Structure 1
Amino acid sequence: MISESGSFVKGMMLGGIFCILVSLLGHIKVGHITKPHEHRHLQAPKKEDILNLSKDERLELSRSIRVYCIILVKPKDLGHWAAVRETWSKHCDKAEFYSSEKVKVFDSIVLDTDDMWTMMRKAYTLAYENYKDSYNWFFLARPSTFAIIENLKYFLLKQDSSEPFYTGRTETSGDLQYVNVDGGIVLSVESLRRLYKVFQEPDKCPEQGGMIWKLSEDKQLAVCLKYSGIHAENAEDSEKKDVFNTKPVGSLIKEAMSSHPQEVVEGCCSDMAITFSGLAPNHMHVMMYGVYRLRAYGHSFNDALVFLPPPGSDND
């Protein structure tokens, strides 16, 4: 009798779990989410393509790309916050820090939540409502990320901001392709418009994430964008090297020394790298020195395109 009773209880438990899973899958709308998508690798233009343009055409191109930078921060990030504020963020056309709570020492847009997905949702919502008519590209980064905004603008030359566009360093989790937030996330203004719209549909883009398990903020973003017909696209240079990096440059060099000892530079990083992640605050200042200040006298640099700093900027 005891054995029969135990079997009955086990059967009830298994049946209950099955019902929960069926209900969950019904909410996810699998048929829509798993729609096949041909993954693309987006490449930056070749320098020759830009040199073939007239001087006026190049100037018009450089003026047409306006990047708004969103940096998500928390009070524990004060050291990184200060470093980003003093270094690469000055090269954005406009950069703003979105904080989980008010911090006296720095100005920020206070979101009143420390949940990263909720912070990301609120930041994107405010960015769209306030700047959809002022900027055509929206770059989101963690405070431990270092970005070379001029290289980002160069990469975007071949892209149309009126088209749905979502890129960075892509990774795969099951059937989901997403952009890893550690390397930074780029959205066109059209993608942001669609994202803003799907935010209003909690069955497709829930504010609190999954019912049983919680996705990271970058995966949850990918799910919401997928409902809007927008898929993650990996960003590469013209030689098919990744330009958004989820590791510090030092780690990438060490890996290249181990795996490609005869071609460390070629095996490490793209010449047109846009981001490096996981940097300490002092490393950001070192990166700033190497990228913007160090010059070899007697060597002539011939850039295909020059991006002028925002008016009133004190960038390097």
Structure 2
Amino acid sequence: MRRIVTNCVYLALLLLAWKLFLATSPTTGLFGEKRLLRKYASGAEIKSSVRVLCFVTTCESHLSTRTISIKNTWGPRCDKTLYISDKENSTFPTISPPGIDPGYQALWSKTMQSYRYLYKHYLNEYHWFMKADDDTYVVVENLKYFLAKHNPEEPRYFGKHFKTLDGYASGGAGYVISREALRRLEDVFAKEKQPERCRFMDKIGAEDANLGRCLGVAGIHPGPAVDSEGSDLFHSFIPDWEVIGDMFPDWYYTSSKNPPRVGCSNDTITFHYLTPRLMRLLDYLIHNLGALTLKEKEIYAIHPYYLS
């Protein structure tokens, strides 16, 4: 039974990679439709212009399994990647910003203190700040192409949008905030009296919902992270669930702002719950068999901010 399930997963990943490969027509699919927009820049220009800092929340026990898989796959494709743990490890390396408490139940303190650390040390160096779990896979190229259409000096917040609890972006699917959103988030954190809806010094609670509440205090809510067909770009589950679409739990349908669909966008940015083995396989399928290995220069939409 286990072998059958594994074979089904591999088949779903192969189908996904083939879909990405077929989507490289110069007029349709993965990137072609963006040629129709008014502002243009080459892929190389976007890579050098849209600066993204990624940070991965992890722990010491995952470094040799989950986290090393990110370090060996998508992690280096961000302009900078930090691995945030509750214990510093100079060999890996990981960092542990002040105020982080140990344990999974304290994940909120890890996320909150990470953003405070990024504000203090990296605010002016990067345009966007992407958070991912250590079992999240990020197609960084697609992330940059999506962010290139938005001005980082505006308060932006993108991810898999859940409409419950006043609205927030799924932590497992990963979320990204703009430089201006980080500025405003720090303003909330720096208040002497904690706002009622953002009990940011509490050590427990779902980190993604807590962050959504704190950003909400700053007037920032999840923006639409969908393609031209209305399909989600950030995904809370593994590729075969998202591609085939027949295993979603009931709560996913009721909580999702954008109803789940069968199949994935060609512009997909993230998947969640990947084992290290599946993460390495997906990386190979996308970057060695898929569209991103083609050498032809494509044309992409880009916000004028990055061209000035």
TM over 0.5: yes
Matched residue type, 2:273: G
- Matched residue of 1:84: which SS? helix
Structure 1 counterpart SS, 2:199:
coil
CA RMSD of aligned residues (A): 2.8
268 and 206 in structure 1: CA distance in 2 versus 1, 3 angstrom threshold: same
> Which residues in structure 2 correspond to 1:137-152 (within 5 Å)?
137-152=128-143
Residue 208 in 1 paired to residue 201 in 2? Answer: yes
Q: Which has the larger radius of gyration?
A: 1
% identical equivalent positions: 30
8 Å CA contact 1:45–1:157 kept in 2: the answer is: no
Q: Distance in 1 between matches of 2:200 and 2:123?
A: 22
Q: How does 1:60-75 map to 2 (within 5 A)?
A: 60-75=45-60
Aligned pairs, how many?
Answer: 249
With CA pairs under 8 Å and 6+ residues apart, which has the higher RCO, 1 or 2?
2
Secondary structure of the 1:141 match is strand
| 1:162 alignment counterpart | 153
**1:100-124 Cα shifts (integer Å, max 9, x gaps):** 1134652111244221111111111
CA distance in 2, matches of 1:249, 1:303: 26
SS at match of 1:242: coil
- The residue matched to 2:229 in structure 1 has which SS? coil
Residue aligning to 2:242? 252
Which of 37, 46, 49 is equivalent to 2:36? Answer: 49
Is 2:284 aligned against 1:289?
Answer: yes
- Aligned partner of 1:107 in structure 2 is 93
Instruction: Give the distance between the partners of 1:58 and 1:300, measured in 2 at CA.
Output: 11
CA distance in 2, matches of 1:77, 1:137: 26
Whether 2:72 is the aligned partner of 1:86: answer: yes
**Deviations 1:191-229, CA, capped at 9 Å, x for gaps:** 00111111012421333339xxx5311111111111111
Q: What TM-score does the superposition give when structure 2 sets the normalisation length?
A: 0.73
Identify the match of residue 163 of structure 2 among 163, 168, 172.
Answer: 172
Counterpart CA distance in 2 for 1:179 and 1:60 is 29
How far residue 306 of structure 1 moved from its aligned partner, in angstroms, is 11
Tell me which stretches of 4 or more aligned residues in structure 1 moved more than 6 Å: none
Alpha-carbon distance in 1 for matches of 2:178, 2:92: 28
Describe the superposition over 1:34-72 as per-residue Cα deviations: whole angstroms up to 9, x where unpaired.
xxxxxxxxxx9941235x6566x7654443210000111
Cα distance between partner residues in 1 of 2:247 and 2:271 = 18
Q: After alignment, is 104-113 or 78-87 more displaced?
A: 104-113
- Please give the alpha-carbon distance, in whole angstroms, between the structure 1 residues aligned to 2:290 and 2:212: 40
Looking at structure 1, the residues matched to 32 and 230 of structure 2 have their Cα atoms a distance apart, in angstroms, of 11
- d(CA) in 2 for partners of 1:77 and 1:190? 32
Compared with structure 1, are the counterparts of its residues 131 and 155 closer, same or farther at alpha carbon in structure 2 (3 Å cutoff)? same
Question: 1:302, CA displacement in angstroms?
Answer: 5.9
CA contact (8 A) 2:181 2:220 kept: yes
Match of residue 304 from structure 1: 299
How far apart are 1:167 and its partner, in Å? 0.9
Q: TM-score scaled by structure 1?
A: 0.72
Please tell me whether the aligned partners of residues 35 and 301 of structure 2 are also in contact (alpha carbons under 8 angstroms): no
CA contact (8 A) 1:73 1:99 kept: yes
Distance 2:79 2:88 in 1: 24
Match of 2:268 among 264, 273, 297: 273
Letter in 1 for 2:35: E
Aligned partners of 2:150 and 2:131: how far apart in 1? 18
CA distance in 2, matches of 1:306, 1:155: 9
Letter in 2 for 1:221: L
